[in-house]
Structure 1
Amino acid sequence: MNTVNYNREKVREKYKDLFKYSLDFIYVHDLNGNLLDANEHGLEVLGYEREDIPNVKFLDLLADKSQLKTAYSAIEEIKEGGKQKERSEYKLKTKDGEIVYIQSYGIPLFKNDEMYGILGIATDITAKKKAKLQLKESEKRYKNLFEQNPFAITILNKDGIIVDCNPAAEGLIGYKRENIIGRHFLNISLVQQKDYESVNKLFKKFMNEKEVHRADLQIQRKDETLIWTHVHGSLFRLDNRKYAQIILYDISQRKAAEQLINKELEKLKELDEVRKDLITRISHELKTPLTVINSSIEYLLERNRLNESDLNEETIETIDTLNRGAIRLKRLVENLIDSTKIEYDKFKLIKEKQDFVEIIENVIRELSFLIKKRNLEFKTNFPENFILSVDKMRIKQVLSNLILNAIKNTPPEGLIEVKMEQKGKYLEVSVKDTGIGLTTEEITQIFERFGKIERRGEGFESIETQGSGLGLFISKTIVEMHKGEIWVNSKGRNKGSTFKFTLPIE
Structure 2
Amino acid sequence: YLKVLHTKFPQFKEDGEVKGLEYKIIKKDGTRAMISFNGKISYDENMNFKQTHGIFQDITERKKTEQTLKESEKKYRDLFENSPSSIILVDLDGKIVDCNSASEFLTGYNKADLLNHNVSNLELFFEDSLDLIKKNFKLLIDGEEANQLEVKSKTKNGKIIWIVIIASLISIAERKYIQAILHDITEIKKIERELNEISQLKSELLERTSHELKTPIISIKGFTELLLELHKEKFDTETILILDEIKDGTLRLQTVINKLLESSLLDSGKTHFEPSQEDLSFLIRFCVKNLRGLAKTRNIFVNLDIANKIILNFEKERIYEVITHLIINAIKYTPPYGEIKIQTKNKGTNVIVSVQDNGIGLSVDERRKLFKQFGKIERYGQGWDIGIEGTGMGLFTSKKIVELHGGKIWVESEGRNRGSTFYFSLPGKKD
TM-score bin, normalised by smaller chain: 0.5 to 0.7
CA distance in 2, matches of 1:222, 1:248: 16
Residue of structure 1 in register with 2:11 after alignment: 73
Call closer, same or farther: CA 1:170–1:299 in 2, change over 3 Å.
same
Structure 2 match to 1:327:
244
1:269 paired residue number: 203
Q: CA, structure 1 residues 107+333, in 2 after alignment: closer, same or farther (shift >3 Å)?
A: same
C-alpha deviation, 1:258, in angstroms = 1.6
2:147 aligned partner:
213
- How far apart are 1:148 and its partner, in Å? 1.4
The residue type equivalent to 2:21 in the other structure is: E
Q: Corresponding residue for 2:73?
A: 139
Distance 1:419 1:187 in 2: 72
CA distance in 1, matches of 2:176, 2:376: 60
- Residues 248 and 292 (structure 1), Cα distance of their counterparts in 2 relative to 1, 3 Å cut: same
Distance 1:137 1:450, change over 3 A: closer
Deviates more, 1:144-153 or 1:288-297: 288-297
More off after superposition, 128-137 vs 252-261 = 128-137
On the 8 A contact 1:103/1:124 being kept in 2, the answer is no
User: Match for 1:75: what amino acid?
Assistant: K
Paired residues of 1:109 and 1:119 also in contact (CA < 8 A): no
Residue 167, structure 1, aligned to residue 97, structure 2? no
Aligned to 2:315: none
Q: CA deviation at 1:453?
A: 7.8
Cα 1:266/1:135, change in 2 over 3 Å: same
3-state SS of 1:87 partner: strand
Report the TM-score when normalising by structure 2: 0.60
- What's 2:185 paired with? 251
Cα distance in structure 1, aligned partners of 2:300 and 2:379:
33
Contact kept, 8 Å, 2:35 with 2:56, in 1: the verdict is: no
Q: Is the 8 A contact 2:139 2:145 kept in 1?
A: yes
Q: 1:282 aligns with which of 216, 224, 230?
A: 216
Match of 2:165 in 1: 231
Q: Across the two proteins, how many residue pairs are aligned to each other?
A: 311
What SS is found at the alignment partner of 1:153?
strand
Counterparts in 2 of 1:365-376, with a 5 A limit?
none
- Matches of 2:212 and 2:90, distance apart in 1: 58
> 1:337 and 1:198 mapped to 2: Cα distance?
49
Counterpart-to-counterpart distance in 1, 2:298 and 2:72:
75
1:343 CA drift (Å): 4.7
Question: How many angstroms apart in 1 are the aligned matches of 2:377 and 2:131?
Answer: 56
Quickly say closer, same or farther: Cα 1:226–1:452, change in 2 above 3 A. Answer: closer
State the one-letter code of the partner of 1:90. Answer: E
1:185 to 93, 99, 119: 119
Q: Shift in Å at residue 269 of structure 1?
A: 1.0
Code of the residue aligned with 1:285 in structure 2: it is S
Helix, strand or coil: the match of 2:389?
Answer: helix
2:257 to 316, 340, 365: 340
Q: Tell me the TM-score normalized by structure 1.
A: 0.52
How far apart, CA to CA, are the structure 2 residues paired with 1:452 and 1:296? 42
In structure 2, which of residues 84, 88, 95 is the aligned counterpart of residue 150 of structure 1?
84
Task: Quote the residue 1:260 is aligned against.
Answer: 194
Over 3 Å counting, the alpha-carbon distance change for 1:71 and 1:296 in structure 2 is farther
Cα 1:450–1:334 change in 2 (3 A) is farther
Distance in structure 1 (CA, Å) of the matches to 2:127 and 2:37: 58
1:50-100 deviation line (CA, Å, top 9, x unaligned): xxxxxxxxx52x5xx5x743333112222xxxxx2x514222221425131
Q: Return the offset for 1:276.
A: 1.9
Matched, 1:87 2:4: no
Residues 395 and 125 from structure 1, CA distance in 2 versus in 1: closer, same or farther, beyond 3 angstroms? closer
1:77 corresponds to which letter in structure 2? Answer: D
On the 8 A contact 1:152/1:249 being kept in 2, the answer is: yes
Query: In the aligned structure 2, how far is the partner of 1:452 from the partner of 1:234?
Result: 43
8 Å CA contact 1:152–1:248 kept in 2: the answer is yes
Structure 1: how far apart are the matches of 2:375 and 2:48?
A: 112
Higher relative contact order (Cα pairs below 8 Å, separated by 6+ residues)? 2
The residue aligned with 1:27 is none
Instruction: Report the secondary structure of 1:92's partner residue.
Output: strand
Describe the superposition over 1:353-400 as per-residue Cα deviations: whole angstroms up to 9, x where unpaired.
Answer: xxxxxxxxxxxxxxxxxxxxxxxxxxxxxxxxxxx97899x879x86x
Structure 1 vs Structure 2 CA RMSD:
4.4
**Higher alpha-carbon Rg:** 1
Shift of 1:125: 2.7
Once the 2 structures are TM-superposed, how far is the Cα of residue 296 of structure 1 from its aligned partner? 4.6
Determine the C-alpha separation between the residues in 2 that align with 1:473 and 1:210. 47
Which amino acid is 2:26 matched to?
T
Cα distance in 2 between the residues matched to 1:116 and 1:166: 58
2:245 maps to amino acid: R
How far the C-alpha of 1:138 sits from its partner, in A, is 2.0
Measure the CA separation in 2 of the matches of 1:117 and 1:451. 95
Q: Which amino acid is 1:328 matched to?
A: E
1:129: Cα distance to partner?
Answer: 3.0
Identity of aligned residues (%): 21
Query: Hey, what's the Cα distance between the residues in 2 that align with 1:213 and 1:192?
Result: 19
Distance apart, 1:112 and its partner CA: 9.4
